[in-house]
Structure formats: structure tokens, C-alpha cells
Homo-oligomer: A and B are copies of this chain.
């Protein structure tokens, strides 16, 4: 197909608007239509991009639209994947595909059946530092991977209402880390042991959830991955990964807004980390959309794809079960 890649956007919330901006910044891409029941939200995307406001049905029915980005609430994802697949459109869907693994599996199967590519929004795979970690591993710079340590802390917990609908910390927050583990460990993850507490907000415990968690993953070949999560970090949005291997170690830390250090009577000081994940991953979000555009035109594979979304979900399920039972839990292999 000639001309710019023509895209539709479902959902004009925070993440939807980010994708709209990325599309506007991508040479060779054009946002044709945006869908959101909140007219003001849709209008802001219209102003930013020149797209038209539309209904989901119009988007699915418009043969000129080649791909759709699904950035709606999670409970709409699976259905919209199936509708988009049925319309023959390439699909980008935010994580998680669905809170229920079997529902998610059915929607992924639909995309396969319809022969449309399905890409899942694990934006961290596009972060330059995390990609570099993987490159170093693939280049054999640290030998065989033996231990992975992932530390993720949000600056502050989301509203309680959000947490209640989120599917729990494992499906909402740690799912990114599960995907990073798969990205870096280099073998299937077969077992999950989870521990957690509600330390930031005791009310979270009432809802059966945790806000502070430690999970250990085990791969088929015995490689270990430790993940720790906290819903709160006074000093900003903290995301670090370290991979230890037989020949060495690679580490990716947090980027800083400036390179400035101040020294005075109290010592040396630098700024807190950026508190906002969209700034932290700004480059990754743009790269993700650029990749989707290539996927739409068939010049790139859908990566990360549906199976990646399902695998992370299966790990979240196993973590939830482990937390409840105090046992290491086998991860169901999904596809």
C-alpha cells in the first residue's frame, strides 16, 4: 500500500493521547480516526492530529484504516481485538490483553485465525537501555545468564478505585517486569514464588491485593530472576535491571533529566528521578508506535506479540496463586 500508514485509535485517555502524539511525530504515519465516549478527550486528539472523531464501528468498517491501536479500559480489549481482527486490521493492544487468561487466549486466537498481526504494548522492550542489556547478552558479553534482578517502584500509588479494577499488582504493575524477565532470561520461565504485603496502604490488603512484593522466577534451566515492586518511592519513578552471568554483569539504571550535581556543606546532591512514567519511557513509546507502523505494512514482525502478552499473564496468575498458597507454582505454558 502507498502513502502514509493510516491508523485508528480506540481510547483517548492518557496513554491513548501519548500514542496519538507518537503517530503525529512518525514520518509516514497518519491518525485517521479517534474513538472515545468522552467527547472532550476525543476532541483533544482531533486538535493535535487532524484525525476525525468516530465510533468504534466506523473505525472497524473503514477499509482505508489499516491498523488500530487499542488503548481503552482493559475489559474492552479482548472484544475489540476480535472485532479488529474480524475487520482484517493490524492490531496494537495495550497490556494486559485481559485480566482473565482464557479470555485473552481466545482473542489472541482470533487474531491468528484472521491472519492479522497483533502487537502488545510492553513499551519497556523499546527502552534503549533495556534493549542494550539484551544486546549485550546476545553478544555473549556476560556468558550464560544466571541471575536477573528487576527493581520497579512507582512514585505513588494510583487511586484506590483504579487499584480495585486493576486485577492486582501482579497483573497491573509487575506484568511489565514479567515481560522484561522473559525478554532477558533467554529461557521459558517455569516456576514462580511470590511474597507480598500491603505496606503503603493497608486498605489494599482488604481488597486481597498487595502494594509491596517480591517474586522469584525460575527458568527451565534453573536461571533465577528476582523482581521487587513497590507502589511508592519518595524519590521518583525507579526502574532498574541487572543481569548477572557466568562471565560478567550488565546493569541499566535510571536516566536523569540533567547531568547537574551540587556540592555544599551537606554533601553532594542530584535531582530526584522523574516521577512520571511517560517521561521516563517517552523514547520507548515513540519507538513502539514506529514499530507498529512497520508491522502494519508487513516490514516488521509483531513483536512483542500475542503470545508474549499471554505468557506474562500466565506468570501473573501463577504469582497470585503462589501469594495465596505460600507455594512455588508452575507456570502454565500458553500459546
Contacts and interface: CB of A to CB of B under 8 A. Distances in A.
B260 A133 contact: yes
Interface string A307-325: 0000000000000000000
Name which of A129, A200, A224 has the most chain B CB atoms within 10 A of its CB: A224
Given A151-B149, A193-B193, A252 B262 contact: no
B232 A248 contact: no
Nearest to A271: B267
Nearest to A265: B234
A136 interface: yes
B246 A263 contact: no
Interface in A214-234: 214, 216, 218, 222-226, 228, 230, 232-234
B226 A214 contact: yes
A251 B151 CA distance: 13
Contact of A147 (B212, B250, B257, B326): B212
A86 B285 CA distance: 46
15 contacts: A136-B262, A142-B262, A142-B264, A143-B234, A146-B230, A147-B212, A149-B149, A149-B228, A196-B224, A199-B246, A214-B224, A250-B260, A250-B263, A251-B263, A263-B272
Contact of A249 (B199, B218, B225, B262): B262
A140 B76 CA distance: 45
A235 B200 contact: no
Given A198-B222, A226-B228, A234 B247 contact: yes
A274 to B, nearest CB: 12
B272 A141 contact: no
A95 interface: no
Interface in A294-335: 326-328
Interface in A266-282: 266-272
Contact of A258 (B146, B197, B235, B252): B252
Interface of A: 128-129, 132-133, 136, 141-144, 146-147, 149, 151, 153, 191, 193, 195-200, 212-214, 216, 218, 222-226, 228, 230, 232-235, 238, 244, 246-255, 257-272, 326-328
A147 B235 contact: no
A264 B153 CA distance: 13
Nearest to A329: B326
Contact of A327 (B151, B224, B327): B327
A255 to B, nearest CB: 6
Given A146-B212, A216-B195, A248 B224 contact: no
Contact of A199 (B142, B223, B259): B223
A136 B260 contact: yes
Given A199-B146, A216-B193, A259-B253, A248 B223 contact: no
A158 to B, nearest CB: 17
Given A197-B218, A234-B264, A247-B264, 18 more contacts: A128-B257, A132-B258, A146-B197, A146-B212, A191-B195, A216-B216, A216-B226, A226-B226, A233-B249, A234-B249, A235-B248, A235-B249, A235-B265, A251-B262, A251-B263, A267-B269, A267-B272, A268-B272
